[in-house]
Structure 1
Amino acid sequence: MNMNIGLSDILLVSPMIALFLASLVPITAKVLRGNREQNPIITLCQALMGIVIAVGLLVVFGGAGKTAFNNGLIFDGVTQWMGVIALLSAAAAMIMMYENPATTGRQFSELIFLAMSSAVGMLILVSAVDLLMVFIGLEMMSLALYLMIAMSHEEKLSKEAALKYFILGSFASALFLYGVAFIFGTTGNTNILSFMENAADLIQTSRLFLFGMVFVVLGFCFKVSIAPFHAWTPDVYQGAPTPHTAFMATAVKTVSFAAFLRVIATRSLVGSEHLFDMLQWLAVITMIVGNTAAILQNNLKRMLAYSSIAHSGYILVGVITAGVSDDAAFGASGVIFYLLSYGLMTLGAFAIASMLEKSENHIVNVDDLAGFAKQRPMIALCMTVFLLSLTGIPPTLGFFGKFYLFNAAIGEGLMWLAIWGMISSVISVYYYLRPIVVMYMKEGQADVAEHSLNATTVTVVVMAIAILFLGFVSGPLFTAVEKSLL
């Protein structure tokens, strides 16, 4: 294979290079200081500066549909939007890491290095159109995450979470790679662009190709918590430090769905009715399992974990729609728009959970929010905005996210998926309104932790304002997303 690397290739991957170089700064500073931690605020600023530069480069050089490294990476609208959402989610999670007792203090430089390395893997994943590049991106992102969770100051749950995540994540990667091997054996190629044209025919004529596609899809289902491959999610989300949970629930989910979307966009679903039916049923089961299990939870992080599973089901509806639609841009833009709204509201909810943790071993239950509205009215109001948006109540961004997603599904004749999505949203009203009722209607002494939380507070307020503001300009925003994909 002829591999000529030109200046254009280097410019296209410059966001990844910028992130990698920025990740080395804090850890190098620590080495030069004789293994003494520099001021955490300096470490955080260095990381945020790297992310700002990477986002800028992604906006400037991405989005034109150019390919790099022998068609291994593509820089189109999906890369641009999903990459920016993931990087901004990572930035918000790092701000939480700076102020959370389970993550700040010793080894903060190493933690930021790992988070930035994971973000490099994410950028590879969103732009990868070769299945081997997808695998490299997945592993780079995941290996850094396993270490990040295990590094928590909390001794017991985080170690269990890291081990569970590592074992099940490795199993998912093995499934994915097994599928890639079958696809390569059938087509002699692992590049999605090369077999995209005839994937629908291949999947009808070749059992091995169908087998490979099923395994690739199952590998993604593990990564994005699609039931019944979701069992690791509540345990890992609860056991990991809250900033890491926010990072996994938003940035990791966004880029994994980006890669999933590229594989399904080969229109192989059109050629295989069985794969099409299987994915539809997985979406319905995921929505029901996530929402009904969340009702039973009292632990706030576990409740948000099951909520995250239910939202994976909603997003899968959009992915299926994009996979069978003649106008894939409409379905794909619905997925991107939903991931933007989901990222803002989930990050906000986890940020408030992080603010309530008084020590690394502190467990926050929904009942602990009693009296929170009296003690911290502004933060309680922000939490209300996040929960109402997750429910899908207008005029929040979450409502418009679901509207565009289900509208695209109905347009493709997937009415029953949209109906199940609406029924699931009604079920979710119960557990999303419960914390609001506890905050405003019950007497108690809930308060945020004693240590400084100024940066997290600012982040929470900005995200709550963004959800309301973007809700009012959702039409032009959706149009902008759709235009970038054409």
Structure 2
Amino acid sequence: MNITVGLSDILLISPMIAIFLASLVPITTKVLRGNREQHPMVTLTQALIGLIIGIGLLIVFGGAGKTAFNNGLIFDGVTQWMGVIALAAAGASLVMMYENPATSGKQFSELVFLAMNSAVGMLILVSAVDLLMVFIGLELMSLALYLMIAMSHEEKLSKEAALKYFVLGSFASAIFLYGVAFIFGSTGGTNILAFMDQAAELVQTSRLFLFGIAFVILGFCFKVSIAPFHAWTPDVYQGAPTPHTAFMATAVKTVSFAAFLRIIATKSLVGSDYLFDVLQWLAVATMIIGNTAAILQNNFKRMIAYSSVAHSGYLLIGVITAGISDNAAFGASGVIFYLLSYGLMTLGAFAIASMLERSENHIVNIDDLAGFAKQRPIYALCLTVFLLSLAGIPPTLGFFGKFYLFNAAIGEGLLWLAIWGMISSVIGVYYYLRPIVVMYMREGNAEIAGRSLNATTVTAVIMALAIVLMGFVSGPIFAAVEKSLI
């Protein structure tokens, strides 16, 4: 097959090109300076400029539904929204890396290079409609991330986290690739667009295709922490440097769900009641396990890790809804809107956690927050906003994220899933309120680390303001997302 590359293809992938070229600037400068690190602020500025250019190009050239490289990549509303969310999350994570003791220092240029290339992998993943392109994006994103975690100045937990993430991530990729082989064997191709119209029928008539799509879905269940494939999440989130944890919990989750959404959009669930039922029960199990396990945690990052598992369950409700709905745009819009709100509140929570870390070996426990409201009232207020939004308390953005997800599910007759979602949300309120109670009602000497935290502070305050203000204009935002998908 002859594949011709034209100017339109280059323009469509220009965000990836811009980010990759920007990633080369700090590391090339370091080489030319005799392996001497330039000022970290300069490195951060160069990276942020690259990401901003990437976001701008994605907004300009994405969203029109055009395809590139022989229909291997598509640039539609999902690509545009999910890509922008992921790149913005990457930018906020880089700001945290600049001021966190586990990530700043002699290898900051290398760290930025890896983070930017992981972002390139994310853009490939979010726009890929060929399963082999999905695999390429997945591996580029993941391999850079494994190295980033292992580069932490912390000597023990980060190395353990990198190894666990590498082994289990490789296992998930192998399962995914095994499923792709089955799909290729049954359809003669790996392009989702080529077999999308026949997928519902193929699931019923071809056991080979059914096994293939099941393995592909299983691979993504590992990536997005769906129970019982979530066991790696708390260990990796705790062991990784806090900025990397924020990066994984937001940007990586966003693009993984984008690819998951494209797989489910083939309507395979419509053709297989068994697949449909299994995914529903996985969503319920994920919400319940994530929220109940979070109650038992005293380590702040492990609590947010199990919270992330529960939120994957909520998002899976939206993915299932989009997979069976005649108006898939409504279900997909709920997923995108939820990822937007989830990204803001999770990044903010990890930004506060990063401020509390005095060294690369410091562990932040919930009990350590005692007296935080008295010592640092602004930071405590920001953390309160993030936790209330994660709990889904109105009028925060998190409440409206759950509202749109559950509303779409009820509209498709998935009332029982929505009820389980609401029950799980009620369970989650307990552990989200616990840090707030500790901050405001216990005496203590909680204090932020004694170093410059101006950039992280600005990031946290912006996130908190966005969560509150965007909650009041959630309707127009959701309408804009839905309109871009039609």
TM category (shorter chain) comes to over 0.9
Q: How big is the shift at 1:472?
A: 0.2
The residue type paired with residue 266 of structure 1 is: T
Q: Secondary structure at the match of 2:34?
A: coil
* Alignment partner, residue 400 of structure 1: 400
The residue type paired with residue 280 of structure 1 is: Q
Q: How big is the shift at 1:312?
A: 0.2
CA RMSD of aligned residues (A): 0.3
Q: Does 1:323 align with 2:323?
A: yes
* Alignment partner, residue 359 of structure 1: 359
* Alignment partner, residue 259 of structure 2: 259
Q: C-alpha distance in 1, partners of 2:456/2:194?
A: 45
Gaps of 5+ in 2: none
Q: Secondary structure at the match of 1:225?
A: coil
Matching of residues 15-414 of structure 1 within 5 Å: 15-414=15-414
Offset from partner CA, 1:397-428 (integer Å, 9 cap, x none) = 00000000000000000000000000000000
Q: Secondary structure at the match of 1:87?
A: helix
Structure 2-normalised TM-score? 1.00
* Alignment partner, residue 450 of structure 2: 450
Q: Secondary structure at the match of 2:360?
A: coil
Q: C-alpha distance in 1, partners of 2:444/2:256?
A: 40
Q: C-alpha distance in 1, partners of 2:481/2:138?
A: 25
Q: How big is the shift at 1:358?
A: 0.1
Q: C-alpha distance in 2, partners of 1:278/1:189?
A: 26
Q: C-alpha distance in 1, partners of 2:148/2:379?
A: 28
Q: C-alpha distance in 2, partners of 1:113/1:447?
A: 32
Q: Secondary structure at the match of 1:183?
A: helix
* Alignment partner, residue 416 of structure 1: 416
4+ residue stretches of structure 1 with deviation over 2 A? none
Q: C-alpha distance in 1, partners of 2:104/2:237?
A: 19
Q: C-alpha distance in 2, partners of 1:478/1:131?
A: 29
The residue type paired with residue 43 of structure 2 is: T
Offset from partner CA, 1:155-192 (integer Å, 9 cap, x none) = 00000000000000000000000000000000001000
The residue type paired with residue 331 of structure 2 is: G
Q: C-alpha distance in 2, partners of 1:285/1:439?
A: 31
Q: How big is the shift at 1:49?
A: 0.1
Q: C-alpha distance in 2, partners of 1:144/1:59?
A: 25
Q: How big is the shift at 1:83?
A: 0.1
The residue type paired with residue 310 of structure 2 is: A
The residue type paired with residue 320 of structure 1 is: I
Q: How big is the shift at 1:257?
A: 0.1
Q: C-alpha distance in 2, partners of 1:265/1:350?
A: 32
The residue type paired with residue 453 of structure 2 is: L
Q: How big is the shift at 1:2?
A: 1.6
The residue type paired with residue 475 of structure 1 is: G
Q: C-alpha distance in 2, partners of 1:445/1:95?
A: 26
Q: C-alpha distance in 2, partners of 1:327/1:198?
A: 18
Q: C-alpha distance in 2, partners of 1:408/1:234?
A: 30
Q: Secondary structure at the match of 2:64?
A: coil
Q: C-alpha distance in 2, partners of 1:273/1:183?
A: 19
The residue type paired with residue 41 of structure 2 is: I
Offset from partner CA, 1:255-276 (integer Å, 9 cap, x none) = 0000000000000100000000
Q: C-alpha distance in 1, partners of 2:197/2:454?
A: 52
Q: C-alpha distance in 2, partners of 1:83/1:469?
A: 22
Q: Secondary structure at the match of 2:3?
A: coil
Offset from partner CA, 1:202-229 (integer Å, 9 cap, x none) = 0000000000001000000000000000
Q: C-alpha distance in 1, partners of 2:210/2:326?
A: 21
Q: C-alpha distance in 1, partners of 2:297/2:415?
A: 31
Q: How big is the shift at 1:116?
A: 0.1
Q: C-alpha distance in 2, partners of 1:129/1:234?
A: 31
Q: C-alpha distance in 2, partners of 1:451/1:215?
A: 47
Q: Secondary structure at the match of 2:74?
A: strand
The residue type paired with residue 185 of structure 2 is: G
The residue type paired with residue 299 of structure 1 is: N
Offset from partner CA, 1:32-59 (integer Å, 9 cap, x none) = 0000000000000000000000000000
The residue type paired with residue 164 of structure 1 is: K
Q: How big is the shift at 1:346?
A: 0.4
Q: C-alpha distance in 2, partners of 1:247/1:292?
A: 24
Q: C-alpha distance in 2, partners of 1:249/1:338?
A: 13
- Equivalenced residues, count: 486
The residue type paired with residue 253 of structure 2 is: K
* Alignment partner, residue 441 of structure 2: 441
Q: How big is the shift at 1:122?
A: 0.1
Q: Does 1:430 align with 2:430?
A: yes
Offset from partner CA, 1:436-456 (integer Å, 9 cap, x none) = 000000000000000100000
Q: How big is the shift at 1:77?
A: 0.2
Structure 1-normalised TM-score? 1.00
Gaps of 5+ in 1: none
Q: Secondary structure at the match of 1:67?
A: strand
